[in-house]
Structure 1
């Protein structure tokens, strides 16, 4: 008689999928209700699971929020990296793609902005969230510095130029998410490219002040 094999009730990938579903549910709750509404019970209801399952994967709601912050940042990073890859090998095209990717989906999204606002409200109160914020900001700036270096900017100008471009991107992204009827994505991208040209042109001639 042939041996009958049965599939296991739960596949090995299922825990990761369940963990991800809780993170995604947490992001939706944060976007909709803010930090004040992000309880274990609310997130469990959003995910369609029991509150006990949240506790199985995360040591409380704070740990889940921190994991959601990290996951959200990773999604943004992946979108930026995809935009740079699609731009080809030209250094200038790669730099512009990195800068303007923030004005297109999935980054330019009012719901994502609402989620970030919830995270930012915790930066001063929660050291682990502050550390994640610093890590993500540093990673973005580091990538930008690398792309600027590829375009020929001197090492002495990389940090200052990257900070200026980051502030430009953040401001345009914020306005685009808040007021899409007043600022269109293509207009934001055009403004960013013009400012990028001016900033990089200035940086090519800039030298650090001599030590006193």
Structure 2
């Protein structure tokens, strides 16, 4: 039986060793290599003749952090399926990683069963986003038919694209020459139309429907 290979990029050795033991217990997965930062990861990838099936990438690391590493992956190895695995649950960080092409974002306190499902989904479906991170993730690609019926106005699309940047809602209001109250109205309207409950949900919708480039 084929074993899928996982690369672990995390500077906490004890956590990484525990993660390796957990992955090995799944049976159909094995850790290809473990490195402590992005610089070591790049060296390992460039020296290897084969790429891992999935990369588990921490965010806060010395020398070269997860965001910098994800940017390198996007530029040099976009075919790599990467899952962010971090204690950092800030909206800004999550949006950055999604924009850079991360296929999933998990918090380190995740249940082992959900962790295994996330890896499997990324391999088989190409993505996994937990409800805890997205609050109300678009259920799956199966909702495509319903999404086709969603009609967005030009200004709503403009707001949605700006919401996928690092700009604050106040900065978006200034760029669109609208009041913050009007921007709040756009946000709430899109939350309702797209059936999401967070800015991250807006980003995921935009990515899935190719309204922004990643």
Higher relative contact order (CA 8 A, sep 6+): 1
TM-score > 0.5, shorter chain as reference: no
Structure holding more strand per residue: 2
**TM-score, with length taken from structure 2:** 0.29
TM-score (norm 1): 0.29
